[in-house]
């Protein structure tokens, strides 16, 4: 583990945790969200290394009341929250929650759209021109999709 910055006097009640890739190396950064000052920045680390380093300043860690992180990192840092920051509550940032919700809504929308296209036998080609694949009988009733698509 390589410690780039470690300033225990920068601890505060609210700390943000993030992982960044800098020059193809994964870094963990802890920031005091009230002052904006960096508390810890390490690279080439393991969870055990970070835990050992933070527990060496247990008094400073006990001051932390909230630990904020992204949703993808929440599983990793929930361990930190429980074992190192005893008094801290884990908070997932709003951006991550909204991004996750939008991603799942998009998946549902695409799935529903594909189901409609399968039942109506509609397919798009590379120029996004719509083709109806089935053969029509003269007395076959038009579906609602066909009425909307070809009513011009």
- Rounded to the nearest angstrom, the gap between the alpha carbon of residue 120 and the centroid of all alpha carbons in its chain is 35
**pTM reported for the whole predicted model:** 0.60
Q: What residues contact residue 144 under an 8 Å CB cut-off, 6+ apart?
A: none
Residue 22 has pLDDT above 90, yes or no: no
Residue 37 has pLDDT above 90, yes or no: yes
State how far the alpha carbon of 87 is from the alpha carbons of 14, 50, 60, 68, 110, in Å.
Answer: 11, 18, 11, 13, 43
Between 25 and 131, the more confident residue is 25
> What pLDDT shows up at residue 32?
92
């Amino acid at each position: 583990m390589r410690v780039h910055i470690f300033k225990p006097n920068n601890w505060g009640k609210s700390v943000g945790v993030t992982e960044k890739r800098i020059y193809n190396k994964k870094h963990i950064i802890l920031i005091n969200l009230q002052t904006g000052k960096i508390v810890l920045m390490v690279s080439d680390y393991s969870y055990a290394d970070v835990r050992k380093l933070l527990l060496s300043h247990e008094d400073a860690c006990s001051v932390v009341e909230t630990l904020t992180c992204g949703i993808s990192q929440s599983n990793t840092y929930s361990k930190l929250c429980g074992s190192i920051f005893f008094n801290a509550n884990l908070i997932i940032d709003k951006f991550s929650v909204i991004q996750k919700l939008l991603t799942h809504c998009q998946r549902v929308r695409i799935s529903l759209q594909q189901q409609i296209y399968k039942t109506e036998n509609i397919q798009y080609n590379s120029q996004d021109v719509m083709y109806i694949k089935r053969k029509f009988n003269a007395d076959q009733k038009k579906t609602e999709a066909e009425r909307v698509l070809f009513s011009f």
